[in-house]
Amino acid sequence: MLGVTKLLCETDETQSGAGHRGHGRMQAPRLLQFSEDKRPIVVWNITKRCNLKCIHCYSDSQNRDYDGELTSTEAKLVIDDLAGFGVPVIIFSGGDPLLHNDIFKVARYAGSKGIRCALSTNGVLIDKKTAQAIKDADFAYVGVSIDGIGEYNDRFRGMIGAYNLALEGIRNCRDAGVRTGLRLTLSNRTLPQLPAIFDLAESEDIPRIYISHLVYSGRGNRMKKDDLTHEETRKALDFIFEKAVEFHRKGLKKDVLTGNNDTDGVYLYLKMRNESPEKAEKVYKLLNMRGGNSSGTAIGCIDNLGNVHADQFWSQYSFGNVKDRPFSEIWTDTKDPIMYGLKNKKKFVMGRCSQCTFLNICGGNYRVRAEAVYGNLWADDPACYLTDEEIGVQNQCRIQIAK
């Protein structure tokens, strides 16, 4: 996750809900989701059930019960282990976590163990009563996914009225005193809606705008053809950067972030290097400290059945199950070759990534995208939109898609 506002404007308008212990206020999203104690932020897809059917969903969820999901008793045991391991943050996701019968009970228990909790939801279930329950459970942040305005969002999410309900959910959270923000996933379907999303954030006084790149998994795996071209991505990032600066100049306390493509940090640095070399060097040091993509290192995922994944997009590969072994043991067991590889990516990445000047601040980007396109976990990420010249690659070495 890239804190665009923080890096471009040198602000601290980013206190949003996934923090680290020992810092008082919420700190993790305040720049790059960097975990100082090297313990991962955990995305917990606590249920797979969802009341929408979004085209780009990595979970491929349906509105039905799923057998084998962790019980509340099992969830508490997992939380005990996560707390003992030093996990700073749990982001409850799904499916839609608000469809889990005991979501508030589980979140309160996590809070009692010193773990900060955030909620990732489609927002349609957040009426005033639910917003107050979210507040009472001490959720520090609620992220609501919106992929366009009005009927456009409804078509994309498979439910008439979803937009109005989600927007009302954001308002209800705000009125209840819960920090909230909106999220849009970039694709060639949603790109035309990008300006309107920023207009919405301004008109509704929404403090956080998170723009996610498309990751090819779940239903989103069928959307590879719908990803932006590299040129479209660059133009979209230029617009996002401009809006972050515009909000800052207007005195609006908006936190603009991008995620799921670590190329963004390099692209921002290169732009700043041309405009303000001294400022760019500060940004480079911060990006270098973070180290780029954190799948399998600073972020992990537990799915609804208890399987442990490198991140929320890695449903095709599990390192183990928390019903059988504690998360803390699974996460530190580098006998698994993929776990070892993710913790030592520089030894394994191939193609352009292996020669890239900025590998230390990108970290090889998303391995799951490389596997989806090339069938090779260690190939270069096809969503890298920088040129060979920009990344210092002398010879064209992009791995070709097998015919």
Q: What is the CATH number of the domain that holds 97?
A: 3.20.20.70
Sheet holding 41-45, edge to edge: 2-3, 255-259, 208-212, 180-185, 141-145, 116-121, 89-93, 41-45, 299-302, 307-309, 320-321
Q: Determine how β-strand 116-121 pairs with β-strand 141-145.
A: parallel
395 domain residue, yes or no: no
Question: Along the 403 residues of the chain, how does pLDDT read in single tens digits?
Answer: 899 999 999 865 434 444 433 333 333 333 333 344 579 999 999 998 876 666 655 555 555 466 789 999 999 999 999 999 999 999 999 889 999 999 999 999 999 999 999 999 999 999 999 999 999 999 999 999 998 999 988 887 777 899 999 999 999 999 999 999 999 999 999 999 999 999 999 999 999 999 999 998 654 456 788 899 999 999 999 999 999 999 999 999 999 999 999 999 999 999 999 889 999 999 999 999 989 999 999 999 999 999 999 999 988 899 999 999 999 999 999 999 999 999 999 999 999 999 999 999 999 999 999 998 888 999 999 999 999 999 999 765 555 444 3
- How far apart are the C-alpha atoms of 363 and 291, rounded to whole Å? 6
Residue partners of 267: CB distance under 8 A and separation at least 6: 234, 237, 385, 386
Determine whether 149 is exposed, middle or buried from the number of CB atoms within 10 Å of its CB (0-12, 13-18, 19+).
Answer: middle
Q: Do the beta carbons of residue 215 and residue 224 sit within 8 Å?
A: no
**Maximal C-alpha separation, the chain:** 59
93 domain residue, yes or no: yes
Q: Which domain holds residue 169?
A: 2-10+28-335
364 domain residue, yes or no: no
394 domain residue, yes or no: no
33 domain residue, yes or no: yes
Provide the number of structural domains found in the chain.
1
169 domain residue, yes or no: yes
20 domain residue, yes or no: no
228 domain residue, yes or no: yes
